[in-house]
Amino acid sequence: MKFESDQFSGNHGIVFNVSRFTLSASERGSLRTLHFGEAKAAHYEVSNLVVELYDKMLAKDLPCQMMVGISKPLTRQQGDLLNAQRTSIAILTSGVFAAAAGRLMPALAFPVGWTVREFTLSKLPTYHAGDVIVSLNAQVSGGIGPQHSVSSMIIKNQGG
C-alpha cells in the first residue's frame, strides 16, 4: 500500500489531514494494522471503520481507492458554526413536513413539525470544541461499474 498525504481546509476553516491509498484484496488483512496518528487514542476505531467500508465495497479482485480525512480538533467557533447548520437543517425539514401536514389537516401542522424537528435533531450530531471529524471515502472501478461509498464518525473530545 502506497500512501499519499495532504492537508486540506474545508468549510468553516476546518483543516483535514488526508491520506490516500489504493489496496488490493490481498492487502485487506493489513488494514487493521494501519495507524492514523491524528486520531490519537481512537486510531483503532478509525482502522475498524476503514475495514468496514472496504468490506462494504465488495471490491473482490479490483483495486479499491480509499481516502481517510481526519480533522484537527474543532475550535469552539467551528463547533458553534456546525451546530448552527444542524439547527437550520432541522428547522427547514420540520417546516416542510408541517406545511404538508397542514394542507391535509391544519391541526396536525404543529405536532408533525415538532416531531420531525426532534427526530432530525436526534439524528444529526452535536459538535463541541476539541471534537475530531473523521471522513472516509472509497471507490472501486470495474466489475458492475463504478462504486462509491462514504462513512464518517466523530471522535468526541475526552478532555472536557
In tens, the pLDDT along 89-110 reads 999 999 998 898 888 888 888 8
Which range among 11-20, 31-40, 143-152 has the greatest average pLDDT?
Answer: 11-20
Beta bridge partners of 4: 20
d(CA 68, CA 147): 17
Q: Domain-by-domain residue ranges, the chain?
A: 3-71+130-155, 76-123
Sheet holding 64-71, edge to edge: 3-9, 15-23, 64-71, 132-140, 147-155
Q: How far is CA 56 from CA 89, 90, 119, 140, in A?
A: 28, 29, 27, 11
- pLDDT tens track for 33-72: 888 888 888 988 999 999 999 998 887 888 999 999 999 9
Report the mean per-residue pLDDT for the chain. Answer: 89
pLDDT at 80 (0 to 100):
95
Q: What's the CA gap between 160 and 145, in Å, rounded?
A: 46
E strands present in the chain: 3-9, 15-23, 64-71, 132-140, 147-155
How confident is the model at residue 160, as a pLDDT?
52
Percent of the chain exceeding pLDDT 70 equals: 97
Find, among 26, 67, 63, the residue nearest to 142 by Cα.
63
Closest by CA to 50, choosing from 74, 16, 23, 72, is 23
Q: Give the position of cell 462513512.
A: 151
pLDDT at residue 159, rounded to an integer:
64
